[in-house]
Structure 1
Amino acid sequence: MDINGKRILVTGGTAGIGEQLARQLKDRGAEVIVTGRSIKRLDAMRKAGFEAIEADLSTPLGADRILQALGERELDVLVNNAGQGVDHDFREAAPDVDDADDCIYANLNTPIRLITALVPRLRERPQAAIVNVTSGLAIAPRAGGPVYCATKAALRSYTQAIRAQLAGTRVTVIEALPPVVDTQLTAGRGGNKMSAADCATAIREGIEKDREEVNVGMVKVLKAVHSASPALARKVMLRF
């Protein structure tokens, strides 16, 4: 896909991977609309030349606000990037089910709502794409984040299914699977982390090359291990 001149919506586009991706897409000539929750970050993106929509995607109102702001405008690419984590570890404390609900809604329900609403207008474009940002944890979960992992695995399955449904149309359905990236979501976690900019570059290149699956960084290794032995991949990841 030639990004130049495309209108692109990036959820969670005011920080982390989403911000870096939005900036790279804009540099390629796209008209980029971002969403976020922080007023300060939204204002900063507006000053940088982006349209920015305030929306909390952990509730149904988030998707509604985005769709209302879009109105009837044409859209070429939808990037479901926004992600939310949640503490859910019985080894440490009793999990909060309300927090889990928020995570599930932000990571799974909202992307489904946006896709459902926007597929009709995407299908009208000469070339369009849906980009769902899942995670390497969609392949094999880690013990410390069962709810987050479950949402990403569910979004992965949803992505694969709608890709089959939209085969033969002008809409490419892309899944991007980042590794551990240095963002607010992973603050406090040790280990090697990919920079948000490098991760965004891999996703942007995947969009440009119309790749259906973009395995970023160490996810390539995890995917190879899982292909050879799903049980081994799970055993390794469940240690974390």
Structure 2
Amino acid sequence: MRLEGKTVLLTGGTAGIGEAMAHQLKAKGAEVILTGRSSDGLARMRDAGFEAIETDLSSPAGVRTIVDTLGEREIDVLINNAGQGVDHDFREAPPDPDAADDCIYANLNTPIRLIAAFVEQLKGRPQAAIVNVTSGLAIAPRAGGPVYCATKAGLRAYTQAIRAQLAGTSVNVIEALPPVVDTQMTAGRANRKMPAEECARQIIRAIEQDRTEANVGMVKLLKAVHSASPALARRIMLKF
């Protein structure tokens, strides 16, 4: 896909991977409509020339805000990038089920609802794409983040299924699987982290090359280990 002249709806575009993708997409000539919930982040991106929609995607109201704001406008690419983590470790403290619900909604329900809202319009475009940003943890979970991992594994399965449904249409369905990336969500973690700019570059390259899966950085190695031995991949990642 040639991104020049394309209109991209990018969720979670005010920080981290999303902010890096917004700038790189704009540099390639795309019109980027992004979403976020940070007032400072939204103001910064608007100052940089982006159209930005303020919305919290951990509830149905957040999705309705996007749909209502866009109205009849057409998009060519939907990037479901927004996501959030949640503390959910019984070894440390009793988890908050309400916080888990917010995480599940933001990471899984919102992408499903946005795809449902825009898929028919996307099918009418000459060339279109849906990009769902999951995680290497969708392949094998880590013990400390069961809810986050479950949402990403669920989105991975959903992505694979709708890719089969949309085969033969103009819509390419892409899954992007980042490793640990240097973002606000991973602050305080000692793991080796990929710069957000490099992660964004690899995801955008996958869109341009019409690929169906972007295994970013160390996820390539995880995918190879999982292909050889799913049990070994699980043992490694549960300790991660």
Pick the TM interval, shorter chain. Answer: over 0.9
Matched residue, 2:224: 224
Matched residue, 2:164: 164
Matched residue, 2:49: 49
- Structure 2 gap ranges (5+): none
Matched residue, 1:234: 234
Aligned AA for 2:31?
E
Query: Structure 2: how far apart are the matches of 1:66 and 1:106?
Result: 14
Query: Structure 1: how far apart are the matches of 2:191 and 2:110?
Result: 30
TM-superposed CA distance for 1:225, in Å, is 0.1
Q: How does 1:183-198 map to 2 (within 5 A)?
A: 183-198=183-198
Q: Secondary structure at the match of 2:232?
A: helix
TM-superposed CA distance for 1:43, in Å, is 1.0
Aligned AA for 2:162?
I
Amino-acid identity (%): 75
Q: Secondary structure at the match of 1:19?
A: helix
Matched residue, 1:8: 8
Residue deviations 1:124-144, cap 9 Å, x none?
A: 100000000000000000000
TM-superposed CA distance for 1:191, in Å, is 1.6
Matched residue, 1:148: 148
- More displaced, 173-182 or 64-73? 64-73
TM-superposed CA distance for 1:36, in Å, is 0.2
Q: How does 1:44-83 map to 2 (within 5 A)?
A: 44-83=44-83
Matched residue, 2:32: 32
- Structure 1 gap ranges (5+): none
Residue deviations 1:191-219, cap 9 Å, x none?
A: 20000000000000000001100000000
Matched residue, 2:129: 129
Residue deviations 1:133-170, cap 9 Å, x none?
A: 00000000000000000000000000000000000000
Query: Structure 2: how far apart are the matches of 1:23 and 1:54?
Result: 18
TM-superposed CA distance for 1:39, in Å, is 1.0
Scaled by the length of structure 2, the TM-score of the pair is 0.99
Scaled by the length of structure 1, the TM-score of the pair is 0.99
Residue deviations 1:77-104, cap 9 Å, x none?
A: 0000001000000000000000000000
Aligned AA for 1:119?
V
TM-superposed CA distance for 1:40, in Å, is 1.1
TM-superposed CA distance for 1:32, in Å, is 0.1
Q: CA RMSD of the aligned region, Å?
A: 0.4
Q: Secondary structure at the match of 2:72?
A: coil
Query: Structure 1: how far apart are the matches of 2:40 and 2:141?
Result: 34
Matched pairs, number: 240
Q: How does 1:111-122 map to 2 (within 5 A)?
A: 111-122=111-122
Query: Structure 2: how far apart are the matches of 1:67 and 1:40?
Result: 23
